[in-house]
Structure 1
Amino acid sequence: MSKSAALSSFIESAPPGELNDVTKAIKSILGDDSVHSELTPAFEKYNETQFTTVKLPGGSGEVLVSEHNTLGDGRYYDSISQTSFEFDHSKQTASAVQSYVPESGHADLIKSLTQSLTTHTQEHYPKCSIGVFPIEDDSQLAILTVANKYSPSNFWNGRWRSSYVYNPSSGSITGTIKVDVHYYEDGNVRLLTNKDVSASVGANATGGDVVRQIAVAEKKYQEDLNKAFASLNEGAFKALRRQLPITRQKIEWEKISGYRVGQDIGGGRSR
């Protein structure tokens, strides 16, 4: 593997909210700030794949960057604010905002989907950015959602991404839900999950009909994740913990704060 390929793989696998940290680490290890320009293609791939969000100058909310809303030459557009902007992939900043109205024969459906998706995400995610974009020569619509929650002071960051392709003619919905959580206090634990979604609403469905199917799929996946975590806690994680201390007596964990560690648990005598 070449140096460029190796460095690109580090960038593309950076955890949510930690791209700058990974970049600084690469520069520090190599002792070369000029490597930044060499990583530009990797930055672009990372931002488009991760649905990186950015606040536009003068804007109130954040818009997302993806392969579905690119205009080429580093410019992207947002269907909600009907603007286009230039995006710096290495700095993750936006500039040169202009008015832009995408041409689509599904303008009313895009508006309906946007309204319904906004309501859905506001009810279920603390902070979320969305996008609805015509793709495949306006024959299909890409429906994107990204919700980020960063808590570096507590050593964890997380991201929820969902991407769906809706075909108005057939009424089919196909997509993928991805969850990426990184916890790094006194260790390094990362959760990466993918869930394929397939549903149908029939031809000529409304935006509300489509989003209801999406909501059902996302709720089901969240419930499955909760069950999986509960199973790990009662199964694999519990098996890692010693069941009996040296005294061969089970510990009453709800009273753990009252134990005198050396004497009660270790079996020693007080001095």
Structure 2
Amino acid sequence: MDATERIQAASNFLLQSPPGEINDVLNDVRNIISDDDLLQEGVLPALREYNLAQFMTVDVPGTEHQSIVSEAARISSSESGSEERFLDPRSKTSFVFDHLSLEASDPQTVEPSSESEPFRLALETSTLTYLSAHFHDGVASVFSTQETPNRFVIQVVANKYNPTNYWAGRWRSEYFVDLNENKVSGKILVNIHYYEQGNVQLATTHEISLALPPAVVTSSPSSSASKIIALIGDEEGKYQISLNDTYQEMGEKTFKGLRRALPMTRQKIDWDKVLGYKLGAELSSSKGVFGNS
């Protein structure tokens, strides 16, 4: 395998990293590349793709909160793509994000759109209230789109890492609020990884599409935003219940069907001994055949 193939293999591993484990995967693929300079240069595009897709969070310089790094937050990039600037609408600050170190730098003040900011701010306020009520250590960002007036993007990410007990999880949700067409569309993405004496991953995507009643759109920004977040909350609550039902069914049926039951001794099988017994039986059988010939 040449260097290009090794870089491609390493990039594929990184893009499939479970929540909170990308550094572990990166350390593992260093053994594949055996060249830190080549590794850093070669896998940087994959790290960038992963960070944007997974809604990586970063401490915003000069603030006490985190912001989401995503495609919706990206406002500019260099020709090489190595230096990208992202927006934290909550603090009206832009910053350069390093996809390798996961750090923000060079904060600059950004003046928001006077037309979009009142409703964006109302959506942000309602979203943060919803976040504190339903998510542990969650982060949310609300953006107004420059291309289309009266169109906003709500992004939420919540991570929970518990390496001591061998599990990790990530919730991501993204919604497009379109006041021109009176609708909300988006999706929920959940990734969970259990890896104690095994390796089980769950990855789900749930699409959502809601029509906004006229009364919601014609209300004041704060009232309208509150009603929109309430509609989103109802949909997320329904999906949470469906996930819980799925987990229950998997525990009672699916995993029991896959699991090998322990023998009557309640002791784990020593597969090395079993393999030895099988080889011994095959050798004995072979001797008998040759002896008769």
TM range (shorter): 0.7 to 0.9
- Are 1:16 and 2:19 an aligned pair? yes
Instruction: From 157, 180, 199, give the equivalent of 1:146.
Output: 157
Q: 2:200 aligns with which of 175, 182, 189?
A: 189
TM-score normalised to structure 1 length: 0.85
After superposition, the C-alpha distances for 1:120-141 in whole angstroms (9 at most, x for unaligned) are 1111111111111122613321
The equivalent position to 1:94 in structure 2, one of 104, 109, 113, is 104
Q: What do residues 75-111 of structure 1 show as CA deviations (whole Å, max 9, x unaligned)?
A: 1011111111110001111111121233262211111
Q: CA RMSD in A?
A: 2.1
Over 3 Å counting, the alpha-carbon distance change for 1:237 and 1:97 in structure 2 is: same
Partner of 2:209: 198
Distance (Å, rounded) in 1 between the aligned partners of 2:196 and 2:252:
22
- Give yes or no for the alignment of 1:45 onto 2:56: no
3-state DSSP of counterpart to 2:121:
helix
Cα distance in 2 between the residues matched to 1:105 and 1:16: 37
Q: How does 1:16-165 map to 2 (within 5 A)?
A: 16-34=19-37, 35-73=39-77, 74-103=84-113, 105-135=115-145, 137-139=147-149, 140-165=151-176
Q: Is 2:227 aligned against 1:216?
A: no
Q: Note the C-alpha offset of 1:200.
A: 1.5
Q: 1:143 to 1:104 in 2, by over 3 A?
A: farther
AA paired with 1:133?
Answer: F
**Is the 8 Å Cα contact of residues 178 and 192 (structure 1) preserved in structure 2?**
yes
Assess, with a 3 A threshold, how the Cα gap between structure 1 residues 241 and 40 changes in structure 2: closer, same or farther: closer
Q: How many residues align?
A: 249
**Of 171-180 and 10-19, the range deviating more from structure 2:** 10-19
Deviations 1:8-41 (A, max 9, x none): 2222211111111111111122211121111111
Q: Would the aligned equivalents of 1:201 and 1:213 in 2 still touch at CA under 8 Å?
A: no
Distance 1:92 1:243, change over 3 A: closer
Structure ranking higher in helix proportion: 2
Partner of 2:137: helix, strand, or coil? Answer: coil
CA distance, structure 1, for counterparts of residue 266 and residue 157 of structure 2: 46
Partner Cα distance (1:66, 1:81) in 2: 16
| 1:184 partner amino acid | Y
Report the Cα distance in structure 1 between the residues aligned to 2:262 and 2:87, rounded to whole angstroms: 60
In structure 2, how many angstroms separate the alpha carbons of the residues matched to 1:116 and 1:105?
A: 19
CA distance in 2, matches of 1:62, 1:231: 36
* Larger radius of gyration between Structure 1 and Structure 2: 2
State the 1:241 CA deviation: 5.7
**Structure 2 unaligned spans of 5+:** 78-83, 219-223, 268-293
1:237 paired to 2:258: no
Contact 2:6/2:32 (<8 A) preserved: no
TM-score (norm 2): 0.79
Structure 1 residue 7 corresponds to structure 2 residue 10: yes
